[in-house]
Structure 1
Amino acid sequence: CWQALEQLYKEKKVRAIGVSNFLVRHLEDLLEDGVEVVPMVNQIEFQPLCFDRDLLKWGEKHGMRIQAYASLGSGDPRLLRNPTVLAIAVECGVTPALVLLRWALQHGCHVIPCSRRETHLIEDSHVFDFCLNDEQMTLLDRLCDNTHFCWDPNIIA
């Protein structure tokens, strides 16, 4: 299956190829199979309650970008109403959603928020109007407890 994607890439029929929900062990298995083209992107759930530092490091080492989905925790109040997220939002004068999107961006991720309303699209565009400081990033990083709002790739062989 991956070889077919590699062939499309070599034939310049696609500009990039990637994977979804791969953990480091899945990526290492792929490399052990002798791939010629390392995935350029890995689309994963990426939010402060669930992120993998080792996966970020692996991506940096191999030139693979992370594309973050569910960065707002699929709307779950455990993330959007988390006291740390709320406090940082107040400090920055922005919404909790913008704090979460900015956090992912500052980790080097490409973020794909789901915006169903024009007002959300306009709000999301303000993610570039501010930065989180090191202390705020650390506070958000410390929230990680492996809470998934989508499915868990750890259950895949």
Structure 2
Amino acid sequence: MSDELQCLNLQNGVKIPSVAFGCAFGDWVGKSDFQGFLPEQAWYAVNAALDAGYTALDGAHVYGTERIVGSILGQRLASGALQREELFITTKLAHPAAPPHINLSHLRTWDADKVDSIEERLKDDFARTLDDLAFGYVDLLLIHWPGTFAGTDASFAREARARIWKTFIELYKKGATRAIGVSNFTKEHLTSLMEDVSEIKPMVNQVEYHPYCQDRSLQEFCQEHHIVLAAYAPFASGAFSMLKDPVLVKIAENHRVSVGQVILRWHVQSGRCVLPKSSNPKRMKQNLALFDFSLSDEEIAQIDALGSGDPQRTCPDPSSIV
């Protein structure tokens, strides 16, 4: 890959790969009766992703896959097949408590108003993450969500975000992470956080973003403040028949690539990082093969136009979090 878009520069000069492999497995958006994570699927998928050429892995404390990821990476580091400096490891903390019908443990999720100390809970969770990975540091640490899913106290939620961010800054200054950022933050969440803690701005904001779920106002805000926007669920997790959209299919035919490659190329040409996930080795390699073709301005505009309606989401709407 020789395209200049294969990495983006964060505010502090750290380079973040444009394409990372998502390490959440299972069903957590209600597509079946079971709602929860299946970390055992990571054993095959992460190995296959590394074989396909991925060096950036996107995880989270709540996913339950960090011990598996750490074991797989440890084997490759031990053999000399990989060096730590070649990897870019992202994790996330502070996932709010999930609804009772979803199989997510309170050991991995919590609401800020239900713990004795936000700061200590964060540090304890981060220590567990590093222990599971068997790493001394991560490359990017994100606040998983801006607050609780059912919270109504906006003042407390804002205070909690500031306290979490100050703890992240402390970990960053200690070298426990090379960069810090947020996930699922709206423009309003970002604005208030930067007002409350002005020392270091978020370097990344990871949000659901795909052709049917676009927020150009948020992207413009992030660009203005030098915050890299990272897109999760770039294929809408297979929902809404998006991969069969005639506009996307036609563009893919024009370039003799897959619809998935068109979507991912749209993301990187628009200045976003992207987090595709697949269990198919062929698709994994395709999802990295984005740098030998380009979309025209007209094609970019056609895909942009697919998001002109109300966003179609596979995850909760962050704007509902106070």
TM-score bucket of the superposed structures, by smaller chain: over 0.9
* Other-structure match for 1:150: 315
Contact 1:18/1:41 (CA < 8 Å) preserved in 2? yes
Amino acid of the residue matched to residue 291 of structure 2? F
Give 1:54's match in structure 2, choosing from 217, 221, 227. 217
| Larger helix percent | 1
* Partner residue in 2 for 1:43: 206
Larger Rg: 2
| 8 Å Cα contact 1:3/1:35 also seen in 2 | no
The 3-state SS of whatever aligns with 1:18 is strand
Q: Which runs of 5+ in 1 are unaligned?
A: none
Kindly indicate whether residue 261 of structure 2 is the aligned counterpart of residue 98 of structure 1: yes
Counterpart CA distance in 2 for 1:134 and 1:155 is 34
**CA separation in 2, counterparts of 1:93 and 1:67?**
26
The amino acid that maps onto 1:154 is: S
**Structure 1 position 59, deviation (Å):** 1.4
Query: In 2, distance between residues paired with 1:103 and 1:148?
Result: 19
- Give the structure-2-normalised TM-score: 0.47
Counterpart residue type for residue 314 of structure 2: F
Partner residue of 2:272 out of 109, 112, 120: 109
**Within the alignment, does 1:141 sit opposite 2:304 as a pair?**
yes
**Would the aligned equivalents of 1:48 and 1:140 in 2 still touch at CA under 8 Å?**
yes
2:293 paired residue among 116, 126, 130: 130
How far residue 77 of structure 1 moved from its aligned partner, in angstroms, is: 4.5
Unmatched segments (≥5 aa) in structure 2: 1-163
Whole-angstrom distance in 1 between the partners of 2:274 and 2:259:
15
Per chain length, whose mean CA-contact separation is higher, i.e. which structure has more relative contact order (CA < 8 Å, sep 6+)?
A: 1
- Contact 2:166/2:197 (<8 A) preserved: no
- The yes-or-no answer on 1:21 pairing with 2:206 is no
Secondary structure class of the residue paired with 1:128: coil
1:124 alignment partner AA? N
Superposition deviation, residue 132 in structure 1: 0.6
Secondary structure of 2:289 counterpart: helix
Give the total of aligned pairs. 157
Q: Is the 8 A contact 1:21 1:153 kept in 2?
A: yes
**Using the alignment, how far apart are the partners of 2:292 and 2:238 within structure 1?**
23
Q: Which residue of 2 aligns with 1:82?
A: 245
Rounded to whole Å, the distance in 2 between the matches of 1:64 and 1:43 is 10
Q: Which segments of structure 1 move beyond 4 Å, counting only runs of 4 or more? A: none
Q: Percent identity?
A: 39
